[in-house]
């Protein structure tokens, strides 16, 4: 899922951004918690098309940015996860947490958790955050290697 600031760009960076990855993580967290596709598009209660959702996401004239809803009340652990997801899709990319912060939040929730479904969910989310951060670093390194090869290949 692309972050709003990337969708608004004329030329989207091929490697994306860490802030954009955090936005995507927040959307995935929403999908896990509500058991629906992004923005509820896979559910019949969403009356919007994917194009309409993208248009709403990229709108800048609204006071409140368009984001998915959490249509339930929850206990303290889930409330902390919902808050984490909302921070991850903040309109201002600089206000989004980094993956180290997310790991700390998930670990603190796991320590407070007594086990069961929430424990399993938190473990998976922490693993996903770690894997995503490693994947971004790996892809960035691959891109740097390719960039170094391109100038030498064009000189021949």
> If you average pLDDT over every residue of the chain, what do you get?
79
Q: 9: helix, coil or strand?
A: coil
**Sign of CA pseudo-dihedral 53, 58, 61, 66:** positive
Lowest mean pLDDT among 72-76, 103-107, 111-115, 149-153: 111-115
- pLDDT bucket at 113, cuts 50 / 70 / 90: low
What is residue 66's predicted lDDT score, i.e. its pLDDT? 83
- Retrieve residue 36's tokens: 């629906």
What region does 144 belong to: left with phi over 0, alpha with psi -120 to 50, or beta? alpha
| Average pLDDT of the residues in 105-112 | 74
Global pTM value: 0.66
Rounded to 10 degrees, the C-alpha dihedral 81/87/27/140 comes to -110
> Taking the mean position of all CA atoms in its chain, how far away is CA 146?
26
Nearest to 129 by CA among 96, 101, 99: 99
The Cα 93–Cα 98 span in angstroms is 10
- pLDDT, tens digit (0-9, with 9 covering 90-100), for 40-97: 665 555 677 878 888 888 887 777 888 888 877 666 677 888 899 999 999 999 999 9
């Amino acid at each position: 899922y692309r972050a709003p600031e990337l969708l608004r760009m004329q030329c989207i960076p091929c490697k994306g951004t860490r802030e954009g990855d955090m936005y995507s993580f927040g959307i995935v967290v929403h999908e896990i918690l509500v058991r629906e596709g992004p923005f509820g598009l896979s559910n019949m209660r969403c009356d919007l098309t994917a194009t309409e959702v993208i248009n709403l996401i990229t709108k800048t004239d609204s006071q409140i940015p368009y984001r998915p809803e959490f249509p339930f009340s929850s206990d303290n652990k889930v409330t902390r996860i919902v808050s984490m997801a909302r921070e991850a899709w903040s309109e201002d990319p600089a206000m989004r947490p980094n993956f180290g912060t997310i790991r700390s939040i998930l670990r603190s929730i796991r320590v407070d958790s007594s086990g069961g479904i929430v424990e399993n969910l938190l473990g998976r989310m922490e693993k996903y955050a770690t894997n995503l951060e490693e994947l971004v670093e790996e892809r960035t390194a691959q891109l740097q290697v390719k960039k170094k090869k391109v100038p030498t290949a064009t000189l021949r």
